[in-house]
Amino acid sequence: MKKSIFTMKFRNVFLFLAMTFGVTSIANADELVDVALDRDIHAAITHLLETSPAAKELAATAKGALVFPNVTKAGFIIGIQYGDGALIKRRASGEGYYISKYYSLKSASYGLQAGVQTFGYVMALMTDVAVEKVETSQNWELGVGPTIVVVDAGVAKTLSTETAQADVYAFTFGQSGLMAGLGITGTKISRINK
């Protein structure tokens, strides 16, 4: 009888320790993912500003930015696209930016496409209206709402703070892999509760 009580107590203590360790491990894993995402966001901003004169010029007047440092698009006929990122907002003092809230980017498409590609998106939010749209929408579908201009090599040559009239300018960078049919229309941006 004593042996079974001891065994039950030992088992309960073991289960309690295992559950505590498991919950702690999950919490630590979530923290590591958040730290890695923050690091990747800052690295993406630095990379874009160092490699794109157009992005650097717009950054001086942008109200904020949606930054998705690691987006993956994959598909064969049916394609999916996914990435996590954050809304970066200008500080009230006007000096620098901070991470405001976290978001995910998702889309699905159908058509002539094949392959896998990874890249980053930075969407410069040039107006308070664009920042408000991001913050108040549960699922913002790109192409519906504020005007968005995708900055490619041609647009970048003529883009300046004087010619910038759109609410949002979308930059892609760091493409690796091969994928046909890269676009942003229909992409949904949703808030991640952290």
> How confident is the model over 74-87, as pLDDT tens digits?
877 777 889 999 99
* Domain chopping of the chain, boundaries: 46-192
pLDDT over 50 (residue 123): yes
| 33, 43, 60, 174 from 39: Cα distances, Å | 10, 6, 22, 16
- pLDDT tens by residue, 42-57: 999 999 889 888 888 8
If one compares 34 and 4, the residue with the highest pLDDT of the two is 34
pLDDT over 90 (residue 184): no
pLDDT of residue 15: 54
- Nearest Cα to Cα of residue 57 among 161, 148, 136: 161
pLDDT of residue 159: 47
pLDDT of residue 187: 81
User: How remote is the C-alpha of 133 from its chain's centroid?
Assistant: 16
Q: What are phi and psi of 78, to 5 degrees?
A: -100, 130
pLDDT of residue 39: 92
Rounded CA-CA distance 152/173 in Å is: 10
Least trusted range by pLDDT, from 48-62, 79-93, 172-186: 172-186
Q: What is the pTM for the complete model shown?
A: 0.72
If one compares 122 and 146, the residue with the highest pLDDT of the two is 122
| 2, 19, 23, 78 from 9: Cα distances, Å | 11, 15, 21, 54
pLDDT of residue 18: 58
pLDDT of residue 152: 61
If one compares 186 and 46, the residue with the highest pLDDT of the two is 46
